[in-house]
Chains A and B, each alone.
Chain A
């Protein structure tokens, strides 16, 4: 009987040698004349264990990792095809604590199936949500989404169902569904993992959205830094179209839905929905004034759903298992689960999908097992380059949109970047302004000019030039950017700056700090 071996084809797994491991396993099994099939799955999201190789034995998948090419002959010698003992053996994959203690709804299939196999997708519950949606009236699909409580996973946290309702109620001969896969936040990789590990879930979610608002065309805007995800997703569209799931009809129903993947071109601002629409229209990614909302006048002036990839890929499970099932996860007004991406200086980085409410401490200390360097923890930035830096004293904050807002932070797209005690928070604050200056679209003055002035002012503070005066100026500049910027880039860049100032003031006063050390 053929033995199944799984070696991920996720870009992160490939980045640490999964391709060569797959080749070595193929080579070794041929040499030993063994009947083996190597299946290329997505990643389970346990990145410190990549390349994570799995062997299926009696229907149970056993994990080995991290596997290097030099380990492969030894694994065969140890009889890993029948679950033989080996120093890299991790036992049944599903029993690995990190994975076992998750609540995977959006990522239920990721890392398990062959990403481009329709049979695998169907066998693991794929298309069940779309089948249910096909039997509903458009207005009922929208209500289902409203009831689920799903809020946009891109960062703003706007209720997805309400957005859909607005588009559904906007009369037009043409409507669009646009997926924002311009995942630019440092510390995030959930969109990439899904496109590479379970692309059909996004296609299914977008097809349901199309039914809900009666849209016939969809676009997925994928950042150019993700060439691998772009290729996989483009293939998935082709396969789903050929199979008649989307295209001129959605699974046989007289409702056309054509889908196209488009490549961004290295502009962080295009993750802002109106910039993204400008870019899709072939223009510079300048943000638009709102109103009108994209739901009323979006792509090419037509009513458009613009949703984050994780939001759209969560839609199928909401229909498959029912909105009550989804809503029953989470806390307060943050319903469902959040795919958290644990990154940066962390021993066990990866994807952790959990109901809202998990604390930063549990993530960093329990799942992450502390820093990768083994040095003491110093700071964590949550929510990408526009998110706040938190010290140890705020680690008991639960991941919840409102709880984070209360401590002047944001959950964003769920990226958690850990820093050890070598981090210089004044340098990080300066970088926040520098990044804003590099990525500003230039439309509004607070962001365009303010960011450059911000770099200069922070540099003067670091150099101890009229420090007290410049601290007042920086605070004033941050207030202006907060209040006067047109979009979240200029409007939230002060978050990392002000939080660094508030929680790590000593980093902004190095002459004093070094004098204090000298006095000791």
Chain B
């Protein structure tokens, strides 16, 4: 299965020329801001501050408007993420199956063992509620995740 490009990074440093090409390619779309931000994040893993004036100019909007969009949506990162991105569901269905305990385990493990190699993000529902608790690692969904299974999944990432 192919994973989304944002996940299987490719930690590559921000490149304004490449960013400019991406923006040019998408700016014709009606309401192009989100598609552009997604494309940038897919490529670089985050939305670099330096991209904001480029987008603003291409779309004839103010830098404040673009910054406002980036910061409104939880999905967009303003800092480069770790090599692996762990999205942990904190919503009710997963709560009913012990995600609060799982969260404590994940936080401890990520802090103690992995340094900056993984980024932990909270999400509210991954749509896998009949197989809670759910976790998404590098774009791949996992169900019925208990602490032991989480450790196995991390081991598969080499962590």
What sequence of 0s and 1s flags, for each residue 439-466 of chain A, a beta carbon within 8 Å of any chain B beta carbon?
1010000000000000000000000000
A417 touches B129 (CB 8 A): yes
Looking at the complex, which one of A186, A300, A341 makes contact with B94 (CB distance below 8 Å)? A186
B59 touches A417 (CB 8 A): no
What sequence of 0s and 1s flags, for each residue 94-126 of chain B, a beta carbon within 8 Å of any chain A beta carbon?
111100000000000000000000000001111
CB-CB under 8 A from A226, the residues of chain B are 127
B34 touches A12 (CB 8 A): no
Looking at the complex, which one of B65, B74, B97, B144 makes contact with A266 (CB distance below 8 Å)? B74
Q: Give Cα distance in the complex from A262 to B39, angstroms.
A: 12
B134 touches A15 (CB 8 A): yes
Per the 8 Å Cβ criterion, residues 335-352 of A in contact with B are: 341-346, 349-351
Q: Give Cα distance in the complex from A35 to B13, angstroms.
A: 49
Q: Please classify how large the interface on chain A is, using the bins under 10, 10 to 19, 20 to 34, 35 or more.
A: 35 or more
Looking at the complex, which one of B34, B134, B140, B141 makes contact with A265 (CB distance below 8 Å)? B34
CB distance from A217 to the nearest CB of B (A): 8
Q: Give Cα distance in the complex from A208 to B34, angstroms.
A: 28
Q: Give Cα distance in the complex from A229 to B92, angstroms.
A: 22
Q: A265-B37, A282-B69, A418-B96 are in contact. Are A343 and B129 (CB under 8 A)?
A: yes
CB distance from B135 to the nearest CB of A (A): 9
Looking at the complex, which one of B37, B76, B94, B127 makes contact with A189 (CB distance below 8 Å)? B127
CB-CB under 8 A from A423, the residues of chain B are 96
A431 at the interface (CB under 8 A from B): yes
A186 touches B141 (CB 8 A): no
Looking at the complex, which one of A300, A385, A419 makes contact with B91 (CB distance below 8 Å)? A385
B91 touches A12 (CB 8 A): no
B91 touches A186 (CB 8 A): yes
B95 touches A15 (CB 8 A): no
Q: Give Cα distance in the complex from A428 to B35, angstroms.
A: 35
Q: Give Cα distance in the complex from A441 to B72, angstroms.
A: 8
Looking at the complex, which one of B31, B96, B125, B140 makes contact with A225 (CB distance below 8 Å)? B125
What sequence of 0s and 1s flags, for each residue 198-239 of chain A, a beta carbon within 8 Å of any chain B beta carbon?
000000000000000000000000001111110100000000
Q: A189-B130, A224-B75, A283-B33 are in contact. Are A435 and B124 (CB under 8 A)?
A: yes
B33 touches A47 (CB 8 A): no
What sequence of 0s and 1s flags, for each residue 467-492 of chain A, a beta carbon within 8 Å of any chain B beta carbon?
00000000000000000000000000
Closest A residue by C-beta to B136: A225
B32 touches A282 (CB 8 A): yes
B147 at the interface (CB under 8 A from A): no
Q: Give Cα distance in the complex from A184 to B92, angstroms.
A: 12
B129 touches A266 (CB 8 A): no
Closest B residue by C-beta to A18: B1
Closest A residue by C-beta to B145: A15
Q: Give Cα distance in the complex from A423 to B97, angstroms.
A: 10
What sequence of 0s and 1s flags, for each residue 161-195 of chain A, a beta carbon within 8 Å of any chain B beta carbon?
00000000000000000000001111111011000
Q: A19-B1, A341-B129, A344-B96 are in contact. Are A285 and B72 (CB under 8 A)?
A: yes
Please give the number of chain B residues whose Cβ is less than 8 angstroms from any Cβ of chain A in the complex.
Answer: 46
CB-CB under 8 A from A341, the residues of chain B are 129-130
CB-CB under 8 A from B129, the residues of chain A are 186-189, 341, 343-344, 349, 415, 417
B93 touches A417 (CB 8 A): yes
B94 touches A12 (CB 8 A): no
A50 at the interface (CB under 8 A from B): yes
A392 at the interface (CB under 8 A from B): no
CB distance from A346 to the nearest CB of B (A): 7
B38 touches A265 (CB 8 A): yes
Q: A12-B131, A184-B124, A189-B128 are in contact. Are A280 and B31 (CB under 8 A)?
A: yes
CB distance from A510 to the nearest CB of B (A): 17
B127 touches A188 (CB 8 A): yes
A47 touches B93 (CB 8 A): no
A329 at the interface (CB under 8 A from B): no
Looking at the complex, which one of B37, B89, B141 makes contact with A11 (CB distance below 8 Å)? B141
Q: Give Cα distance in the complex from A341 to B127, angstroms.
A: 10
Per the 8 Å Cβ criterion, residues 295-354 of A in contact with B are: 300, 341-346, 349-351
CB-CB under 8 A from A418, the residues of chain B are 96
A15 touches B130 (CB 8 A): no
Interface centre among A47, A265, A267 (most CB of B within 10 A): A265
Q: Give Cα distance in the complex from A229 to B124, angstroms.
A: 17
CB-CB under 8 A from B128, the residues of chain A are 11-12, 15, 189
B130 touches A342 (CB 8 A): yes
Q: Give Cα distance in the complex from A184 to B124, angstroms.
A: 7
A284 touches B69 (CB 8 A): yes
B9 at the interface (CB under 8 A from A): no
Per the 8 Å Cβ criterion, residues 46-102 of A in contact with B are: 47-48, 50
A394 at the interface (CB under 8 A from B): no
B124 touches A268 (CB 8 A): yes
B34 touches A187 (CB 8 A): no
Per the 8 Å Cβ criterion, residues 29-45 of B in contact with A are: 30-35, 37-38
Per the 8 Å Cβ criterion, residues 71-96 of B in contact with A are: 72-76, 87, 89, 91-96
B130 touches A47 (CB 8 A): yes
Q: Give Cα distance in the complex from A341 to B38, angstroms.
A: 30
A16 touches B92 (CB 8 A): no
Q: Give Cα distance in the complex from A435 to B123, angstroms.
A: 11
A16 touches B143 (CB 8 A): yes
Q: Give Cα distance in the complex from A234 to B128, angstroms.
A: 21
CB distance from A431 to the nearest CB of B (A): 7
15 A-B interface contacts by CB (under 8 A)? A12-B130, A15-B142, A186-B91, A186-B125, A225-B127, A265-B38, A265-B74, A279-B34, A282-B59, A284-B68, A284-B69, A349-B129, A349-B130, A351-B130, A431-B95
Q: Which 6 A-B pairs have the closest CB atoms?
A: A349-B130, A282-B33, A186-B91, A343-B129, A265-B73, A266-B75
B: which residues have CB within 8 A of A? 1, 4, 30-35, 37-38, 59, 65, 68-69, 72-76, 87, 89, 91-97, 123-132, 134, 136, 139-144
**Given A225-B127, A282-B69, 15 further pairs, Cβ under 8 A:** A12-B141, A183-B125, A184-B125, A186-B125, A187-B92, A192-B127, A224-B38, A262-B31, A265-B74, A341-B130, A344-B96, A344-B97, A346-B130, A428-B92, A428-B95
